[in-house]
Amino acid sequence: MNFIKIKNETFFGTIYYFSVKIKNVENSVISVSDNLNNKIELNDKNMQSKINSLTEAINSLSMNQSDLKTQIGQIKATTSADFSGIIEQDIKGVVTIKTDAAQGTGFILTEDGYIVTNAHVLSGARYANIYTYDNNRYSASLVGYDSEIDIALLKVSGEFFKLILGNSDEVRIGEKVIAIGNPLGLSFTATEGIISAREREGDNGLPYYFQTDVSLNPGNSGGPLINTKGEVIGINNFKISGAENIGFALESKYIEQTIDDISLRELNMTII
């Protein structure tokens, strides 16, 4: 009996010993697994951080290249007669306007599709279609217009490249400019010239216009007059009939004032 008791105690002691060993092994495995998972998670975070840094660097490089390209275009336009960089950039913000009565030009003022043109481009029209440089067509709605200043505001749906209004008060006589438009139906034509005079009177008797020797023809109406920075400093409005290279463009500060007035008027009408 004593032998059996000792044997049982030895047996259970052996079981206990192996149970402790197994438990220790399990704890070791769990510890190794936890360490491995922590290292994997840390490596994942480090890898994601590196990917994010690389993505930011690529995006920054792309933006810097775009900015550098724009700056090079401005420098070339300022120091020579080469407007190629400015034209390549700004032509994306110019549109052809075709109605059932006539056609002309406009330019995109906001990324969500507000377009400025001359009011007389839309005279007598029942509808207006907008054609962008990439040959997409959009149906336009009329937001409002000012017949005295000869400005109209249109709206199309979508996302677009916009042109920036420059400060017309800073424009100097002799400064080089270009016009982009659709003279005689020749879409997206660029012509070059200078500012010949400031504050010329229009048919409305208001001294709001630049005189320019940029070649303007029917179809240029409503198109932008652009400086060497790629900014719109005027909207091409009219020329003297029978004269060579004597055109007139409404100064950009009056474009901005008129658009603000149109927008405010339409807002008040909507509220009422």
Considering the candidates 90, 168, 221, 252, report the single residue annotated as catalytic: 221
Whether residue 247 contacts residue 255, with contact meaning beta carbons closer than 8 Å, is answered with: no
Residue type, 228: T
Whether residue 258 contacts residue 206, with contact meaning beta carbons closer than 8 Å, is answered with: no
Distance CA(76)–CA(88), nearest Å, equals 13
150 is catalytic: yes
Considering the candidates 90, 150, 168, 252, report the single residue annotated as catalytic: 150
b (16+ CB within 10 A) / e for 8-18? eeeeeeeeeee
Count other C-beta atoms under 10 Å from residue 77's C-beta: 24
Distance CA(87)–CA(74), nearest Å, equals 10
Distance CA(130)–CA(116), nearest Å, equals 11
Whether residue 210 contacts residue 251, with contact meaning beta carbons closer than 8 Å, is answered with: yes
19 is catalytic: no
Considering the candidates 90, 120, 168, 252, report the single residue annotated as catalytic: 120
120 is catalytic: yes
Catalytic residue numbers, as ranges = 120, 150, 221
